[in-house]
A and B are shown apart, each in its own frame.
Chain A
Amino acid sequence: MATIIINGEDHELPEGEKLNAIQAAKLAGVDIPYYCWHPALSVVANCRMCEIEVGQKDAKTGEIKMIPKLVPGCQTPAKDGTVLVTDSAKVKEHQRMIMEYLLINHPLDCPVCDQAGMCGLQDYSYEYGQANHRFVEERVINPKKDVSDEIQLNQDRCIMCTRCVRFTREITQTGELQVMRRGNHAEIGVFPGHPVDNPLAGNVVDLCPVGALLDKDFLHKQRAWFLSKHDAICTRCSTGCNVKAEENKGRLWRFTPRNNPLVNDYWICDEGRASYKAANDDGLLTSSYAKTGGNLASTPIDQALKFVSQALGQVARDGGKVAAVVSPFLTVEEAYLLASYLKGLNAENVLALGPIPSRGEDRTFTPDQTKGRTGDTSFVVPRPFTIHAEKCPNRRGVEAVLAHFQGEVIPFDAISKRVTSGEFQALYFTSDAIDAREAEAEAKALRDGVKFLVVQDTLVTPLAQLADAVLAGATFAEKAGCYVNADGRLQYAEASLPPRDGSLPDLDIFAVLMGRAGGPARSRDILAEVASTIPVFSAADGGVLPEFGVVIGQTNGQAAPELVGAGGRFDDPWQIPRYLKGDRPGEPGPKGGKNA
């Protein structure tokens, strides 16, 4: 076992992984501050914040030889016998100096800066900087500019870490951003007519450790510390990117990526980033409806549910069949309850997969390490990122549930034909698709095919206008549950908003219809039930998933070990609120976390 010595203490290095000093120190609970380093980007060592004292311990004699100079931690491989000193007076003085330098030309506009509260400069000034300021000259004031329709660059705040530039060169390989001019007049910029408009452009905003690159959509809307962050999954395509849904006052304000090395790495696409808006849509259903006297009338949800339950019960008693369209936007748990409910009413009832929205083609971005600067980049693990053409989050999950209940997966077109031909007495249609709405003619045909039509959705669709009952379900933000992405990975999403007034989370709707005992349905309990009844989901045993999700169809025993890195989910330290770091003024930090 390889051992690294950090501040005089021995720590074991994880096997089979190449780490640099920053990563190895983090595993040992020691923070080495940095700005320009990012685990997915080439190492340039230009911010000089991570400099530490480095040495090597002789394996035989045990003698430690230190390099007389400071060395950037990002560039230092963690090997057996490597010695790191991160808290010496020399290192601290260096950190203080870098902070002083970074701030001499930085404006003091934290009160109006969006990054404030999650800013690398703020955090590190507090932790490693000094309170005074010896610079009395005129500052360099670089201009503010637009680098695309969505992104603004406040160049005066930039610290030239070049993470954004490296991102557009190495990850998207579109190379829109560059450094222009020299010295302390250097600026990040784009060529005229070539904005940063690639499909992953928004990530440069998350990469920026300070408030230089800003999302215009979010600009000046919320302060970072008011936002509560919920671990969600993006539902805009079958990649299933892990996101943080940032909520305040009952609204979502933005999506930011959450690291999952097995799915989206550190990124999300711009379409997914913008998709949070659907949760705040003014057109969302705020009431359920039931047909009384030929008209759809707003009805309290409990009555609407009773109405539906009676009507479907009646169909079953009459020996009729119900068809259900199970939307690929439903979670695994919801699909499971809906299927159990309908199959419980009548084993002849038919379940079909909802329409699968699809647009464009799959687009994969494969990081190109040769596009990066040379240097030891062995700690960078290049992983591709794919935006899928299939614009729904849970096709695989719903298919697995349907296959379990009836052995086959009936596509939407087939069931649509059968419904129109009058085979069924009732149709239970679930949706929550943002853009996959049935055309009016198709809606009419479906309507005419059945006696009783239930639509469960979040928006008013043409089909809902024609329904006998409309149940107001939950948007992606209002429900908790699991989705299976294009690679078969089962992942859990937290609810980030409470249910809207007049609506009920879909899981509860099904639970009430079934008459399931035990109060509000919890996704965890139901997932546990799914895991014990459907073999492909057995990896979700007990309703608990590993941090990065699990591939369905494998049991825990079979699952190949997944290379996710020993550090767990990565977050730049300034992204983590201070209170989570246990680091309050006047109190010592967590395990060596506080350096000053």
Chain B
Amino acid sequence: MPAFEPVLTRNFAVPDSQTLRAYESRGGYQASRKAITEMDPDKVVQIVKDSELRGRGGAGFPCGLKWSFLPKDRQETFMCVNGDESEPATFNNRLLIERDPHQFIEGILISCFATKAATAYVYLRFEYIHAFRIMERAIAEAREAGHLGKNIYGSGFDLEIYCHRGAGAYICGEETGLIESLEGKRGWPRIKPPFPAIEGAFRKPTVVNNVETLACVPHIIERGADWFKSIGTPKSYGPKLYCVSGHVNKQVCVELPLGVTTRELIEDHAGGVWKGRKVKATVPGGISMGVMSADEMDVKLDFEDIKKTGCLGLGTAAVTVMDDQTSMVDYLYNTSRFFAHESCGQCTPCREGTGWMYKIFKRIKAGGGRLEDLDVLTMMANNMGLTPGTTICGLADGAAWPVKNVLAKFRPELEEYIKKNQSSKPLVTPLQKAIAAGTVAEPVALGGRVYPAPQPALRSPGGS
């Protein structure tokens, strides 16, 4: 295999890489010129389809296929670029925008040409104010140079790009949540169907793509689909920005072919685990994707292999490393707090389930855990999300997966924790107090119609 040559990050180290001059001097905007002046939109779509570029935003949906879902007879199309990047530990979009905005704009340009969109909205996470300013400047430069605006390259194709800043909600990264938020509404995901390609922003056909997905497009046009498919593993082609963070010596974002392993990432790129410790677990692609144990460090991080570990998917390829002194209870406490805080509150299982999970972990952490809590958690984790079909969006899956994976892979540790950590003064609710004092019957003892009585609790919380 020839040595891998980074393309997405090739300008990152160039001085003034955000400027049009620097970008053009390195061959920038050649691909867009080629696409717009020499090809017709369907050809571009076909090339992207041939390259089997899969979405980098989380779901890994084939990009070209998504574009071809747009109705043939559409009048107006919108492009929404998903730069909400709120998945914890993910920062590749930020680097792509901050270090090489023109590569991104060129990607938008070609993709809009392919999808016949005359308007593109770049939805940026609220906190990315720096990236927002860089984008605004780059858009102005590009318009000045004739890469944006009316009649681009004399082809009759028009494009305007607008940057929109979110207001700080994870859920606005979900494509329909993003669209609602863009329309000025509350970021509540919509039911599908209709998919955005049929009815999206302002009720018009809309394409939603991640920043990195679009940044790949100019390179595909420039070097061809075959080049793209020569990189990576079967069904997962192309380069990918991997973020490595957590308990490593060097937190990095590196561009590598799809399909590296966690071990390679940690050892070759992140300088190993900090303080000379060992890996206990890794999060493969943002916390919604679940966890992998230390035994699974040689699994390839691509769209397919990773599912064998029971994880939800590759997600954003943001690897978080936990060393052997990390408590899984702390990890679950943190993830559940995140999802309870970020659930938009629309679907009953997600709204109530994430809150309930968080409260249980809080109690376990404070020393009030009960063994049967783990069964309740398993029940919840198995029954919320898009996978069982009980919610509108995938946030609930993201909330369920860490719990599901940890319970499958680290249950003894949790049991151990609960047994060892029975604080004499745990957090107790009035109800728990009453149960412990025997003035109220154990609620589960009252009915037991659907569930058999649980295993006897180690000790009722609150009891001394």
Contact = CB atoms under 8 A, between A and B. Distances in A.
A374 B199 contact: yes
Interface string A102-116: 101100000000000
B2 interface: no
Interface residues of A, number: 49
A131 interface: yes
Q: Is the interface of A mostly helix, strand, loop or mixed?
A: loop
Given A137-B356, A159-B348, A160-B346, A48 B191 contact: no
Contacts of B1: none
B446 interface: yes
Nearest to B185: A373
B352 A130 contact: no
A296 interface: no
A184 B350 CA distance: 9
Contacts of B387: 69
A368 to B, nearest CB: 13
B383 A97 contact: yes
Contact of B447 (A68, A131, A185, A186): A131
A45 B392 contact: yes
Given A132-B444, A136-B429, A375-B190, A105 B389 contact: no
B353 interface: yes
Contact of B343 (A45, A51, A105, A183): A183
A184 B355 contact: yes
A400 interface: no
A76 to B, nearest CB: 11
A181 B344 CA distance: 8
A86 to B, nearest CB: 15
Contact of B435 (A71, A136, A181): A136
Given A134-B444, A136-B435, A183 B349 contact: no
A47 interface: yes
B390 A48 contact: yes
A134 B373 CA distance: 9
B280 interface: no
Nearest to A374: B199
A179 interface: yes
A49 B443 contact: no
A98 B392 contact: no
A183 B342 contact: yes
A160 B345 CA distance: 8
B203 A70 contact: no
B446 A133 contact: yes
Given A94-B390, A132-B448, A134-B443, A182 B355 contact: no
A191 interface: no
Contact of B194 (A47, A93, A376): A376
B3 interface: no
Nearest to B461: A136
A11 B341 CA distance: 45
A183 B340 CA distance: 6
Nearest to A54: B389
A93 B388 CA distance: 12
A51 B390 contact: yes
Contact of B169 (A72, A75, A132, A182): A182
Interface in B365-408: 376, 379, 383, 386-392
A137 B363 contact: yes
Contacts of B191: 43-45, 72, 75, 373, 375
A105 B431 CA distance: 13
Contact of A130 (B193, B345, B349, B449): B449
A293 B81 CA distance: 92
Nearest to A71: B389
A374 B360 contact: no
B263 interface: no
A374 B343 CA distance: 21
B368 to A, nearest CB: 9
A186 B190 contact: no
Interface residues of B, number: 53
Interface string B423-464: 000000101100100000001111111110000000001000
A98 B352 CA distance: 9
A373 B186 CA distance: 11
A11 to B, nearest CB: 24
Interface string B250-285: 000000000000000000000000000000000000
A140 interface: yes
A51 B389 contact: yes
Given A46-B392, A160-B345, A132 B351 contact: no
Given A130-B450, A134-B376, A98 B349 contact: yes
B209 interface: no
B244 to A, nearest CB: 30
Interface string A57-85: 00000000001111110010000000000
Contacts of A67: 389
A167 to B, nearest CB: 16
B77 interface: no
Contacts of A93: 383, 450
Contacts of B391: 48
Interface in A286-308: none
Contacts of B355: 105, 140, 183-184
A98 B190 CA distance: 20
Interface in A528-574: none
B359 A186 contact: no
A160 B429 contact: no
Given A96-B450, A137-B359, A376-B194, A70 B345 contact: no
Contacts of B203: 370, 374
A183 B351 contact: yes
Contacts of A43: 191
B190 A373 contact: yes
A132 B443 CA distance: 6
Given A48-B390, A134-B443, A183 B347 contact: no
Interface in A336-354: none
A93 B383 CA distance: 10
A138 interface: yes
B354 interface: yes
Contacts of B450: 93, 96, 130, 132
B349 A48 contact: yes
B356 A49 contact: no
A135 interface: yes
Contact of B345 (A68, A75, A138, A182): A182
B443 to A, nearest CB: 4
Contacts of B386: 69
Contacts of A44: 191, 346
A408 B451 CA distance: 75
B356 A69 contact: no
Nearest to A161: B348
A51 B388 CA distance: 11
Interface string B169-186: 101000000000000001
Contacts of A365: none
Nearest to B460: A136
A465 interface: no
Interface of B: 169, 171, 186, 188, 190-191, 193-194, 199, 203, 340-349, 351-356, 359-360, 363, 376, 379, 383, 386-392, 429, 431-432, 435, 443-451, 461
Given A97-B349, A101-B351, 16 more contacts: A44-B191, A48-B347, A48-B391, A97-B383, A101-B349, A130-B447, A130-B450, A134-B376, A137-B360, A138-B359, A179-B186, A179-B345, A181-B345, A183-B341, A183-B345, A184-B340
22 contacts: A46-B348, A47-B348, A49-B348, A68-B389, A69-B388, A69-B389, A70-B389, A98-B349, A101-B348, A131-B449, A132-B451, A133-B444, A160-B351, A183-B342, A183-B351, A183-B355, A184-B345, A184-B352, A184-B354, A186-B345, A373-B188, A373-B190
Give 3 closest A-B pairs by Cβ, nearest first: A69-B389, A131-B447, A186-B345
Interface of A: 43-49, 51, 67-72, 75, 93-94, 96-98, 101-102, 104-105, 130-138, 140, 159-160, 178-179, 181-186, 370, 373-376
